[in-house]
């Protein structure tokens, strides 16, 4: 698989990472993964005392199963209510991830990413914020708040493809792509639980702010270490 050499750390000492719920709670909470991920992030912080982390955690199976139950109970349930369920799930997942960082994450789970600039905790962990978008958008707002010019977006896919490789044999992985190319893939509208490489609202916001987003497989911690260290990594850079 192709790799990517452009993994500059950005202009801020704060690294913003959007952690997909699919890797934190694929079915139940993956305690082994959360522990290993926290260990990797601790090593990253230990290498430079100036480094800090903002982690935004997705809903995963917690959100999907709860939203599916609500749809069964009320076939006419509105999307804002489904988003509220998803937001609650992300905050539960964020609390679990926060526990893995113990003393490094002294602040409560944040619920409004625009207010975190004054937070002095070395690790800040948050979940969903408002209906109408996913935690991808929360991560972009968080990056804006702390002066970071990029977001690392971790999921269960290694790279973004030109199309869904499960259904299109001609789909090919992309080492880099423009925001316009991503717009063509993710579309314009957000629906609760929508499965896209980066949600449409986050895509528009990040593009308007001139941010860079790096999409990579969060389960591959060796690759994540390389990405954060500025070495070659497997992933897709969007700018």
**Residue 21 main-chain phi, psi, to 5 deg:** -60, -25
Write down the pLDDT at residue 7: 47
Q: Is the distance from CB of 23 to CB of 61 less than 8 angstroms?
A: no
Q: Is the distance from CB of 198 to CB of 134 less than 8 angstroms?
A: no
Q: Is the distance from CB of 171 to CB of 165 less than 8 angstroms?
A: yes
Write down the pLDDT at residue 8: 47
Residues of the chain with pLDDT under 70: 1-3, 5-12, 188, 190-195
User: Is the residue at 191 inside a domain?
Assistant: yes
Structural tokens at position 85: 């369920």
User: Is the residue at 1 inside a domain?
Assistant: no
Write down the pLDDT at residue 166: 78
User: Is the residue at 162 inside a domain?
Assistant: yes
Strand bridging mode 236-238 / 212-217: antiparallel
Structural tokens at position 4: 């990517």
CA distance 6 to 209: 20
**Residue 40 main-chain phi, psi, to 5 deg:** -65, -40
Residue 210: give the domain boundaries: 14-238
User: Is the residue at 2 inside a domain?
Assistant: no
pTM: 0.92
Q: Is the distance from CB of 111 to CB of 33 less than 8 angstroms?
A: no
Using only C-alpha atoms, what is the Rg of the chain? Answer: 17
CA distance 126 to 117: 13
What is the number of structural domains in the chain?
Answer: 1
User: Is the residue at 180 inside a domain?
Assistant: yes
User: Is the residue at 179 inside a domain?
Assistant: yes
pLDDT per residue as tens digits for the range 179-229: 999 988 887 676 665 667 788 999 999 999 999 999 999 999 999 999 999
User: Is the residue at 63 inside a domain?
Assistant: yes
CATH number at residue 50: 3.40.1160.10
User: Is the residue at 174 inside a domain?
Assistant: yes
Write down the pLDDT at residue 9: 46
């Amino acid at each position: 698989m192709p790799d990517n050499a452009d993994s500059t750390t950005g202009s801020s000492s704060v690294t913003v990472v959007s952690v997909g719920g699919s890797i934190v709670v694929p079915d139940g909470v993956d305690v082994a993964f959360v522990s290993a991920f926290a260990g990797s992030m601790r090593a990253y912080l230990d290498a430079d005392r100036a480094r800090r982390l903002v982690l935004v955690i997705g809903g995963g199976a917690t959100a999907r199963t709860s939203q599916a139950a609500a749809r069964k109970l009320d076939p006419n349930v509105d999307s804002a209510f489904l988003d509220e369920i998803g937001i609650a799930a992300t905050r539960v997942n964020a609390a679990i991830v926060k526990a893995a960082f113990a003393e490094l994450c002294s602040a409560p789970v944040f619920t409004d990413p625009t207010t975190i600039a004054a937070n002095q905790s070395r690790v800040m962990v948050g979940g969903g914020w408002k209906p109408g978008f996913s935690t991808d958008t929360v991560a972009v707002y968080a990056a804006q708040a702390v002066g970071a010019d990029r977001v690392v977006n971790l999921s269960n896919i290694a790279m973004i493809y030109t199309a869904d490789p499960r259904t299109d044999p001609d789909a090919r992985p992309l080492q880099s792509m423009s925001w316009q190319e991503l717009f063509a893939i993710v579309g314009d509208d957000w629906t609760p639980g929508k499965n896209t490489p980066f949600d449409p609202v986050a895509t528009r916001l990040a593009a308007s702010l001139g941010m860079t987003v790096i999409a990579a497989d969060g389960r591959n911690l060796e690759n994540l270490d390389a990405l954060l260290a500025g070495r070659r990594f497997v992933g897709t850079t969007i700018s």
